[in-house]
Amino acid sequence: MSWQPQYRSSKFRHVYGKAASKEKCYDCVPITRNVHDNHFCAVNPHFIAVVTECAGGGSFLVIPINQTGKLNPNHPKICGHKGNVLDIKWNPFNDFVIASCSEDATVKIWDIPKHFLTRSITSPKRELLGHTRRVGLIEWHPTANNILFSSGYDYKIMIWNLDVEDAVISNPVKTLDAHKDVVLSMSFNTDGSLLATACRDRKIRLLDPRAGTVLQEASYKSHKVNKVLFLGNMKKLFSTGTSRWNNRQIALWDQNDLSVPLLEEDLDGSSGLLFPFYDSDTHMLYVVGKGDGNIRYYEISPEKPYLNYLMEYRSQLPQKGVGTMPKRGLEVSACEIFRFYKLIPTKSLIEPISMIVPRRSESYQEDIYPLTTGTQPALTALEWLKGVNKGPVLVSLRPGSGAVNSLPQFLEPELLMETSSLSQDKCQGRQLPPEDMQKSSKIDDSRKHLNVEEKMPKNEQVCLSNGFDVFECPPPKTENELLQMFYRQQEEIRRLREIVNQRDIQIKQLELQLRNTCMETGFY
């Protein structure tokens, strides 16, 4: 039997990393010497924030993204913490709000002025007091506005609601006590209904953050986990850690079964930590090594072998931490699909590294830029705390385009059943009680809201489903692209059938209303 190599087609097969020129780097930045295993850098389209080295408390810099070159030694700082700053994160829905946590056991929320910093800031907008030991991790909720998670060395994860007017918040809305040691990593799924954690006891846990219960727990002894990451909606987890022989190792897990990993692979014998980053739009996974200059990147597929190695970016300059630019801040005209900001403390330098898909055309490349997460929250903090789940609001990266609803809004089944029963009562001439009258008014309001959402311009023909445009997508050239287009068309057909079913239900409701009106006027 002759051996036949298996070839796989991928539009990201030739992605390469390109370091920025010296003029576009950030020089003379006093990067922190702290040995804590965190990124120490946070980026959005307006600012880059980096934890700095200082004496007598903790501070970090906020630099305008376009202010490259040598940094002024007297640049204003954010210096309100009494201990070293361990983590910083920008609010995903407000580019001028940043959260920081510190060894002083506090979490602080800062407002950055839109006209940039002219003096150092020492007073935060809000201060969160609840942890008894230093706070090492913070994470914003991916879809709910003003929900912040913090994890400390008291082994607790606290959930904070920032939709209050108090400057000092002492009581979190929820405290998770499921861990017996320090939490090393936190990651949300796409709608934020599940939380995955990596703990110093080398276990991966999958939690329901609102209920505080552990849904899954991995106690696989051959993989000592350090960082864990949700892979979008693929119902898989990715983790980095070490093997029994202290080799750096990566592992892939099934979200519903954490007993044994789906895939396990040793990388090398270095001692530095591995930071994973996942791009759910391109299904690309990046693994950044701390203490070396390498960035490995893979493509994730739902079928075996799951993890497809693409290439590796190598540099002689080791990175201590790394920040990533959100997709809305990338340069789409250069086919840039990801951007890292590499912290090099030996040279006091921050170096941007762009991951680029080589294309000859200078026009907008629809196939590598599907709809992506925007700056509009899908839920309020109160809605999420009450148990509502909703995917992120998506936007197009095409210049000049706006936001697009992530999912079509339909009436709930219970609401439809109540509608039909109330209409039947009206048709039979029975008087409705006051409670049912209130329900009827709510249903009418929901109908009006649905009708407003369904109105579209007659001169525009739009067929979008998960970023797939039926009329503008180029014809498939390979078997893999043909299969992808087939699956997208099947999804589009399913979505259109749901819309048709909703229209049929609306027609029946209108018929019932017409019959009721005729019976009341005596013309039926």
Q: DSSP letter string over 224-275? A: EEEEEEE-TTSSEEEEEEE-TT--EEEEEEETTB-SS-SEEEEEES--S-EE
pLDDT > 50? residue 422: no
Q: Is residue 143 part of a domain?
A: yes
Category of 387 on φ-ψ map: left (φ > 0), alpha (ψ -120 to 50) or beta: left
Average pLDDT over residues 215-234: 90
Q: Is residue 252 part of a domain?
A: yes
**Residue 293 tokens, joined:** 């200059």
What CATH number does residue 323 fall under? 2.130.10.10
Strand boundaries in 44-145, DSSP class E = 47-51, 58-64, 69-70, 77-81, 85-90, 97-102, 106-111, 126-129, 135-140
Average pLDDT over residues 183-196: 95
pLDDT > 70? residue 446: no
**Who has greater pLDDT, 490 or 3?**
490
Q: Are 423 and 415 in contact (CB under 8 A)?
A: no
For the chain, percent of residues with pLDDT exceeding 70: 83
Predicted pLDDT of residue 123: 93
* Residue 378, φ and ψ in degrees, nearest 5: -85, -25
pLDDT > 90? residue 523: no
Q: Is residue 409 part of a domain?
A: no
Domains of the chain: total: 1
Predicted pLDDT of residue 221: 84
Using one digit for the tens of pLDDT, what is the confidence trace for 32-87?
988 888 999 999 999 999 999 887 778 999 999 999 999 999 999 999 899 999 99
Q: What predicted TM-score, i.e. pTM, was given to this entire model?
A: 0.75
Q: Coil, helix or strand for 497? A: helix
Q: Is residue 382 part of a domain?
A: no
Predicted pLDDT of residue 384: 95
Domain containing 145 equals 16-373
Closest-CA residue to 423 (of 432, 414, 411, 433) = 432
Predicted pLDDT of residue 128: 95
Q: Is residue 339 part of a domain?
A: yes
Q: What is the mean pLDDT of the chain?
A: 84
pLDDT > 70? residue 320: yes
Predicted pLDDT of residue 522: 65
Q: Is residue 440 part of a domain?
A: no
pLDDT > 50? residue 131: yes
For the chain, percent of residues with pLDDT exceeding 90: 62
Predicted pLDDT of residue 219: 80
Average pLDDT over residues 210-227: 90
Q: Which residue has the tokens 């409670």?
A: 435
Predicted pLDDT of residue 411: 34
Q: Please measure the distance between the N-terminal and C-terminal CA atoms of the chain and give it in whole angstroms.
A: 79
Average pLDDT over residues 453-465: 40
Q: Coil, helix or strand for 430? A: coil
Pairing of strands 126-129, 168-169: parallel
Which residues make Cβ contacts (< 8 Å) with residue 134, sequence separation at least 6?
83, 86, 102, 103, 104, 105, 152, 153
pLDDT > 50? residue 354: yes
Q: Is residue 428 part of a domain?
A: no
Q: Is residue 522 part of a domain?
A: no
Using one digit for the tens of pLDDT, what is the confidence trace for 472-502?
456 666 776 777 777 778 778 878 888 888 8
